[in-house]
């Protein structure tokens, strides 16, 4: 085979590889068309005891307190806050920590858990359309780092796009699904916190 043949073959492999790298294969639970995420601005310093907003483009005054609202035909209370947002809106870390678990569940759909640096708090992100590229268990994140995209997976209901955001206080040795649920609303809607 000639040198020209090998050069042409190499060019074909590079072009096909470049095209393939732009496609998404398997695993994604997204029902929205893929698009390159908009750049995420890392929020300015957030006052102590206040969280960064976990959905880009949502203001604090747009968040409603849905804590303990009836769910499951009144059989349980809502342990979090639903943040309504357009499908595919960027979901970012509300606080620094480490991605502890990526998980698929019947209720939460595509979910992600971030454990705080001190291990005492877990932040729960549910109903995601997909994870942000490169997000993986063990990853250290700062407030504002991309985690995923708003979706309607799990029991959210088709077209009911929102992020379910929950907080649990953790005792030493507790795992990602354990802990005491805490109302995140006061930490998200705090006045004078910006955003």
Domain boundaries along the sequence of the chain? 52-188
C-alpha–C-alpha distance, residues 150 and 21, integer Å: 23
C-alpha–C-alpha distance, residues 60 and 58, integer Å: 7
User: pLDDT class for 194, splitting at 50, 70, 90?
Assistant: very low
Q: Class assignment of domain 52-188?
A: mainly beta
**Stretch 164-180: mean pLDDT, rounded?**
89
pLDDT at 63 over 80: yes
User: pLDDT tens digits for 85-139?
Assistant: 999 999 999 999 999 999 999 988 999 999 999 999 999 999 999 999 999 999 9
As beta bridge partners, residue 122 has 115, 168
User: pLDDT class for 43, splitting at 50, 70, 90?
Assistant: very low
């Amino acid at each position: 085979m000639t040198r020209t043949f090998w050069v042409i073959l190499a060019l074909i492999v590079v072009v096909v590889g470049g095209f393939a790298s732009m496609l998404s294969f398997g695993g994604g639970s997204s029902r929205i068309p893929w698009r390159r995420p908009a750049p995420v601005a890392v929020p300015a310093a957030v006052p102590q005891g206040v969280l960064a907003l976990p959905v880009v483009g949502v203001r604090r005054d747009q968040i409603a307190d849905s804590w303990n609202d009836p769910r499951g035909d009144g059989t349980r209370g809502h342990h979090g806050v639903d943040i309504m947002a357009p499908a595919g809106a960027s979901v970012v870390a509300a606080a620094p920590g480490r991605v502890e678990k990526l998980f698929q569940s019947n209720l939460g759909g595509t979910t992600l858990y971030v454990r705080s640096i001190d291990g005492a708090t877990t932040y729960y992100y549910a109903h995601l359309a997909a994870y942000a590229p490169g997000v993986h268990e063990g990853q250290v994140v700062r407030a504002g780092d991309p985690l995923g995209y708003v979706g309607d997976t799990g029991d959210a209901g088709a077209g009911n796009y929102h992020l379910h955001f929950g907080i649990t206080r953790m005792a030493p040795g507790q795992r990602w699904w354990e802990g005491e649920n805490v109302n995140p609303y006061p930490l998200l809607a705090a006045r004078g916190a910006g955003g």
